Every structure is written in structure tokens, then in C-alpha cells.
Amino acid sequence: MTLIADIIVDVPTLQTNRPYTYSIPDIFTDIIQPGMRVVVPFGRGSRKVQGFVIDIKEHETTEMELKAVESLMDSYPVLTKELLKLGEFLAYQTFSFQVKCYQTMLPAVMRAKYSKKVRLIDEIPENLYWEVFKGKDEISWEEAENKNVLSQLIKLEKQDKVEIDYDVKDKAAAKKIKKVKPALSFEAYEEIREGIRTNAKRQKLFIDVLQSMDDKTSLSYAELRELGVTSSTIRSGLEKGWCEVFYEEIYRDPFASRIFEPTTPLTLNKDQAHAFSEIYQTIKDDQHNVFLLKGVTGSGKTEVYLQTIREVIDKGEGALMLVPEIALTPQMVQRFKSRFGDEVAVLHSGLSKGEKYDEWRKIEKEEAKVVVGARSSVFAPLKNIGIIIIDEEHETSYKQEEFPKYHARDVAIWRGNYHNCPVILGSATPSLESRARATKNVYTLLELNNRVNDYPMPDVDVIDMREEAKSGNPSIFSKALLDGLKKRIDQGEQSVLLLNRRGFSSFVMCRDCGYVLECPNCDISQTLHMDTKTMKCHYCGHEEGIPKKCPKCESRSIRYYGTGTQKVEKELKELLDDAEIIRMDVDTTRKKGSHERLFKQFENKQANILLGTQMIAKGLDFPDVTLVGVINADTALGLPDFRSAEKTFQLLTQVSGRSGRGEKEGQVIIQSYNPEHYAIQYAKQHDYDSFYKKEMNLRHLSDYSPYYYLLKITVSHENEMTAAKKIRQYTDYIRPSLSDKAIVLGPTPKSIARTHNRYHFQVLIKYKREKNLTEKIHQLLSETQKEQAKGMYISIDYQPLDFI
DNA sequence: TTAACGAGAACG
DNA sequence: GTTCTCGTTAAA
């Protein structure tokens, strides 16, 4: 019986987005399994590519000559049956390539690295041999490219004088360390000691160490060094047969130096206990159910998570806990590590690729039962999931912006269904979609309406900045906010200041002629970066110097506009002498670990004000923070996005929740130019339900989510007319297959019509039920392949979250 | 006549 | 993504 394998190859194009069949050489038949990575020859030149085995079956027909699997990259399947199936589903639903889906499920190091080499197999002209090959019999493709001899080499290849060789390298490597163990008996060492010179102190020391070890213990080179045994001593000992050296696989543990004090479960209050028991019931019964856990800030959602996870672990199953990247703070990790110790694996962007791989292996080997991580952790290779939790479920970062454009919430529910386990969506401000599903009983609603220990919600004051300006205060700080900050400094309390960056940036404008410095490639103003003293385009990365005079009218009154964190910090220092400010933004947190360091400093009260962007709004718990200020509450309200009110409400509610988490009462001051806006007013009143009602009403009137689903098609081309013509054509192609219930918006130019010197258009399809739509889009994509190859980019976003 | 270029198809 | 084929065009 011969076996063949269905393999998805790493060639991300539409035409190759399907399984290819390969024969399996006898030596692999016993080992190969679906889910393994393999190397296969592909295409005319049989170049080597990475592939994923998705199925193994018996050879049926002999009609077609099959190529054979070249080698195995894994000794065990890296993708489970479940993940293989999920990848297939995701590829279809998000209009992505199946390989891309599998690659996103795995740590980055497991993606193959390709290299091309030219190897000599016969005599070649002398000059080429010496100048290009320099006496070697193999050079890299890049070397040949640099020397401009590619065409000559290709000719030589046809004459079988040289060979072009493809290499697939696996970057995934477990870190290994060198260790030493004794090779001889206690008595033997005694004898050796007699034999060595009295002044060979190092050797004597090494003998002592070896003698003190039994054959089960071993020491690493680093440990031996600490004892005073150098590597040269070890080497000579090895030569004399005193010891043995071997390699041991280790994990790069980013939390190695940290000690986590174990914590015990806290007593749950009535609401928490109710939520817990509802969830516990489904855990016990192995039932799939989606819960929406709506709990006000500070209501103890995390404790409910922790206790349900405990139940799952005790049942012998794994738990998956998703947290938005910016909320994945050391504080958050600590709570899980303290409760579950080594059973926790943490995956976040701060880890190096190697560290991520190690955490992944720990999960794969079932050494870690609890996975805490950001979006991509939803693919964690847990084999038996007992619960999936998505904290802050309303966060838009759960949707991946690149292909595959998946939403972690959808993936979580898919996996929950597969594993027959509950999925918990937690938030103080659930997305309208989730809240609406709870109303329709698609999700089960669980509410925590009180803060733990019955701490009151903080008082929220909304300051009208228009009045402030009228009364002659030009500052970015209202009098109330400044007084509040002063008071906290005097009382030895702390404040958090949020600068809402969304829809906001600092740009350069000429005060005489109104000229704004724009990017030469994109129709967008460039942003000022004080740290590098340059202007940057946030879309294409174009960078140039800060203009000293206006390029248009030569005026020197070209000035910076807008408010950045640096500017706020500077002004604050001028206004408040005693202000000790910690600033957190992309500039100060770029370096690894700086996040944590800054938070630690604030926690240790080395500063009285924490100033930052969105990243300070989440999951932080500082008991001495009694004032939270929002400098610009409404910069996002004006954006052309139907979710902008929702996002503003969520942000204000989240950040308000940072105040008064200790025994002292908290205050929140929101500065706004639209103080009467309902998003701001309901946030002030901590009134989610009224906001929900009002917003649902508006969404209903304008036919938006959650009443309608959305699909976004974007088309871009170098030529504006071509792009416009094509998107109209595509829209006309799809329209006939839609029911009369569907609404087509556009096509329209995107609000930033040009980036990277390309023109972008989009069309939105709003629909309730369109069973043909997905299929039709797939058809569109396959029928437009030729145009896509010629520079017409088409991108489909299923349930998009942004429209800008 | 031959080399060069571009589009199209196929990849097991 | 890469390679090969085929048809056409440009250069010698």
C-alpha cells in the first residue's frame, strides 16, 4: 500500500491556493502525519518550498506521475486536525490564502526561509570561476546578482555546467545550552586528585565540583563559571575523560527573574457568584455557549475569569485567555502567574521570536495549560480547550488588519464550538454587536453592576473648552483640570492624563498662506516627530526634514499645530512646578521592557502624573490615582466612521474606570468641544444602557451594524481613472447576485484617496442575509486575476472595522 | 536571422 | 512566486 499526501504549498497566489498531491517515500510512511510541515519540489524547476500536509490517503490512481515529498520539517504535527480545518474555513471566509492562515497560526520562526544557490558541476570559463566563484564551488544567488552574471549563469545551467539549488531553512530551533556531568566515580576522582600538581588549583576545584555531583545532576557552563570553573578547565577535563558534555534544550523564559507570590481565590460577591455558577454549569456539562460578561470597570471580571479557569484546569483541560495587546501589562500577567504559576504561557508582541516559539512549544507539549495573550493567541495549540475568554471584547485590535483579516472573537467562537466549551466575552462597554446578540439570546448576558467592595463610580466633570477659550484661557488645560492636578500633587496623590490621539496628529502649517506640509506620495498631511526631528507620512513612511520656511510663500511663520504628548508634557511642566511626569507614547515605549519600567516607576510613586495615549486606558490598577483627565475627548467624534461615537464612549468609560480604584474617591475631568454630545454625556453618567439604546436607534435609522452586516471592497491602481472604472465594473458584477434587501454604498474614493502613489476606491455592501455573496466575491477574485497581476489591487474586508 | 520582451499558463 | 512557452517585435 502506497500513501500519498495532500499538501498546501507556500506559494501565496490564487491559482495555487489548493492542495497538491505528492507521493510519500517509504522512509517517511510511518512518520508523516497531517499537520506536519514538509519540503516539497514545486513547479517546473522543482524549486523547494515549504508545505503543510493536510491529508494522507491511499494511492488511488496511477494516471499522474506524482512528485515526492522531499523531507519532513517536523517530527510531530505542528497543526492539529482542528487547526487544519479552521485554516480552511478562515481562508474561505476572509478571502485569504490557506497557507497564510496556517502561517499566522504558528510562531514566526516556523515560517521557512528560502535561499537560492548556484553550484558548480562542470568546467566553466576560467574568468567566471575566479571572479565570481573565487575558487569556491558554491555561491549564493545574491552574490551572483551583485556581480551581474545571472544571464551567463542561466546559460551555463542549460548546458548542465552549473546547478541552481533551492534551500528551505527552518528557523525554528530550540535554544540549547551546554551542560557538564561527571563521568567517573567518587573514588576515581579521589585518585585523580592525588595525581595532579599541587599548584593546579583550577583543576582541583573542578574535581571537587564533579565529585560533589551524582550522576543525575548536571551543571551548565554558566553555573560552573560562577563556581570558578572556566571553560578551558572544562575542556581539559573533557580531554582527560573526567566529565561529559551534552546539550540540553531550554526555554527562553522572559519571566525567569521574577518571583510570583501565589494568590488564593477571593470571595465573590453576589453578581460575581451568579456569573461564575452560570459559566461553571456549562464547563461541567461540556457545553458550548457564548456568555457576554458585562461588568462595570472595577467590578471584578478578572476574578471570575480566574476562578472559572481554575475549574477548567481541575477538569484537566486548557484555558485560553485573550487580552488586547495594550492591556497585556505586567500587572495583568502577574495576576495569572500568581494564581496558576508555571502552568501559564504568555504570548505577546514584546517577546522575541525565539521566546514566542518557546512559549508555543510549552503549550504544544501541554506543559502550560493556561494561555494568556493577544489576538494571535486565539490559535494557541491547546489540544483540549475547556474555556475561551476574550477580555475587553469590544476592542478593535482583535481584528487583524492584514491578511488573513480575521476577528479573534469569531475564531474563538468557532473553536469553542469545536471543543464544546464556553466562550466568555467580557467588557465594561460591550460592542453594540455583542450586546445586541445578547438581547436576541444568541449570547447569554451576565452582568456585574457594582464595583467590588462597593467603591462608588468616580464623579465625572465635563469641561466645555469653548467657554474656556472665550474666557481667555488659551492653554490646552482648563482651569478645573489644572486645579485638580495641583490638588493631587499637594495631597501626594496621583493623576492620569489621557491624550486621545485617534483622528489627531500634529502637523505643520503656514500661518500666512495656510499651506500644510503634505506627503508627496499620499494625499495626507505629514506628522511632526520631535524625537527624530523629522516630518513623517504615517501611510507610506516617507520622511523629510522640518521646513524652516513655507515652501509656497517663503514665509517664516510656518508653525507646528496640533497637540502631541511632548507638547502637553512641556506645557504642563511650565504650568506646574512640582509636576513629575511620566510620558507614555510610541516614542517612549519603543524599547523592549520600557512599558513595564515606566509603569513600575509610576507605581513606586516616582511621578505624580502619568501622561499618555490610549495605552494607559486599559487594565491598569493604581490605588493612589484619584484624578483622571482627558485632554481632548472628542477628536475622534468627527471622523467619518459610524462607530466613532461608540469608540469615544468606550474610551471615556474605560479611562474613567482608572480613577478611584482604591479607598480614596476618584474624580474624572473630561475636556471637550462637544460637551453635549450623547457619547460624552452618557460616559459622564456611567450609563451604558442608555448609550446602547440611543446608539442602536441611530444605527437602525442609518442601516448599520448590528442591523446589517458589512463587506468592504477596496480597489487601487496607479491610474485614478482606471481604478474608478474598474471598481464600478466590479460593483456591477456583484450587484445582480444580491437580494433587494442589500444596500450598496458607493463606490467612492477613499477618504485618503492616494497613498504610495496609488488611488484607492471602496464600495461597502450592507446586507442581512446573502447566501450567494461570499461565493460571488470568490468568483470576482478569480475572474480578475489577470487584472490583479497587472497592478490592479483588490482587497476584500469581511466585517470591516474601519472605513477611513 | 536572431535576440529580446511580454503575456499566459501551470505548478501534483 | 517562478519558470517555461509562445508569439510578437526590435535589432543586427
- Condensed to tens digits (0 to 9), the pLDDT of residues A212-264 reads 887 777 888 888 888 888 888 888 888 888 888 888 888 877 666 677 788 88
Distance in angstroms: CA A433, C1' B11:
43
Distance in angstroms: CA A781, C1' B12:
24
User: Element (H or E) spanning A522, and its range?
Assistant: none
Residue with CA nearest C1' of nucleotide B6: A790
Same domain, yes or no, for A25 and A70? yes
Q: Quick one: chain A helix, strand, coil %, rounded to 5?
A: 35, 25, 40
Give the pLDDT confidence score for residue A12 in this predicted structure: 93
A21 touches strand C (CB under 7 A): no
Set of cell numbers at residue A486: 495641583
A15 touches strand C (CB under 7 A): yes
Nearest nucleotide from residue A16 CA, by C1' atom: B11
Beta bridge pairs of residue A797: A712
Give the separation between CA A150 and CA A305, rounded to whole angstroms.
Answer: 60
Cβ-based contacts with strand B at under 7 Å: A 11, 13, 15-16, 19-23, 41-44, 46, 64, 66-67, 786, 790
Give the pLDDT confidence score for residue A62 in this predicted structure: 63
Give the separation between CA A535 and CA A545, rounded to whole angstroms.
Answer: 6
Report how many domains make up chain A.
Answer: 7
Give chain A's count of helices (H) and strands (E): 26, 33
Give the pLDDT confidence score for residue A804 in this predicted structure: 64
Nearest nucleotide from residue A12 CA, by C1' atom: C1
Which structural domain, as residue segments, surrounds residue A756? 709-798
Same domain, yes or no, for A300 and A386? yes
Nearest nucleotide from residue A11 CA, by C1' atom: C1
Distance in angstroms: CA A371, C1' C2:
40
Same domain, yes or no, for A211 and A303? no
Distance in angstroms: CA A719, C1' B4:
28
Give the pLDDT confidence score for residue A593 in this predicted structure: 74
Nearest nucleotide from residue A47 CA, by C1' atom: C2
Give the pLDDT confidence score for residue A504 in this predicted structure: 47
In a domain, A406, yes or no: yes
Strand order in the sheet with A138-140: A138-140, A113-120, A162-169
In a domain, A252, yes or no: no
Q: Binding site annotation covers A243?
A: no
Phi, psi of A330 (to 5 degrees): -55, -35
Query: What's the CA dihedral at A448, A449, A451, A453 to 10 degrees?
Result: -90
A151 touches strand C (CB under 7 A): no
A42 touches strand C (CB under 7 A): yes
Same domain, yes or no, for A363 and A448? yes
- Looking at A122, A141, A169, the residue that finishes a domain is A169
Q: Which residues of chain A have pLDDT under 70?
A: 1, 61-63, 148, 254-257, 501-507, 511, 522-524, 529-532, 538-541, 560-563, 586, 590, 619-620, 638-640, 751-752, 804
Residue A55 sits in a domain whose CATH number is 3.40.1440.60
Nearest nucleotide from residue A69 CA, by C1' atom: B12
Phi, psi of A595 (to 5 degrees): -50, -60
Set of cell numbers at residue A596: 513595564
Q: Hey, what long-range contacts does A214-221 have (CB within 8 A, 24 or more apart)?
A: A214/A182, A215/A181, A215/A182, A217/A181, A218/A179, A218/A180, A218/A181, A218/A246, A218/A248, A219/A179, A219/A180, A219/A181, A220/A177, A220/A178, A220/A179, A220/A180, A220/A248, A221/A177, A221/A178, A221/A179, A221/A180
In a domain, A178, yes or no: no
Nucleotides of C strand lying within 7 Å of any protein CB atom: 1-4
A236 touches strand C (CB under 7 A): no
Same domain, yes or no, for A600 and A553? no
A16 touches strand C (CB under 7 A): yes
Residue with CA nearest C1' of nucleotide B11: A43
Same domain, yes or no, for A345 and A413? yes
Query: What's the CA dihedral at A336, A340, A344, A346 to 10 degrees?
Result: 10
Query: Helix or strand or coil: residue A611?
Result: strand
Q: Binding site annotation covers A421?
A: no
Distance in angstroms: CA A141, C1' B9:
26
Instruction: Using the Cα atoms of residue A270, residue A271, residue A276 and residue A278 in order, give the sign of their dihedral.
Output: positive
- Condensed to tens digits (0 to 9), the pLDDT of residues A768-778 reads 999 999 999 99
In a domain, A247, yes or no: no
Burial of A30 (0-12, 13-18, 19+ CB in 10 A): exposed
**Residue A176 and residue A159 in contact, taking contact as beta carbons nearer than 8 Å:** no
Residue A363 sits in a domain whose CATH number is 3.40.50.300
In a domain, A537, yes or no: yes
**Residue A305 and residue A265 in contact, taking contact as beta carbons nearer than 8 Å:** no
Beta strand segments in A653-775, E: 667-672, 709-717, 743-755, 758-767
Give the pLDDT confidence score for residue A503 in this predicted structure: 43
Give the separation between CA A611 and CA A629, rounded to whole angstroms.
Answer: 9
Nucleotides of B strand lying within 7 Å of any protein CB atom: 7-12
Burial of A129 (0-12, 13-18, 19+ CB in 10 A): middle
Taking the alpha carbons at both ends of chain A, their separation in whole angstroms is 57
Same domain, yes or no, for A491 and A605? yes
Set of cell numbers at residue A139: 555561491
Distance in angstroms: CA A779, C1' C5:
27
Same domain, yes or no, for A685 and A720? no
Beta strand segments in A257-342, E: 290-295, 318-322
Same domain, yes or no, for A400 and A447? yes
In a domain, A8, yes or no: yes
In a domain, A177, yes or no: no
Give the pLDDT confidence score for residue A681 in this predicted structure: 95
Same domain, yes or no, for A467 and A530? no
Same domain, yes or no, for A197 and A161? no
- In order of A137, A529, A552, A657, the CA distances from A549 in angstroms are 58, 17, 9, 45
In a domain, A261, yes or no: no
Q: Binding site annotation covers A519?
A: yes
- Positions 695-714 of A with beta carbon below 7 A from strand C are none
A164 touches strand C (CB under 7 A): yes
Same domain, yes or no, for A434 and A343? yes
Residue with CA nearest C1' of nucleotide C4: A44
User: Element (H or E) spanning A29, and its range?
Assistant: helix A26-29
Q: Binding site annotation covers A522?
A: yes
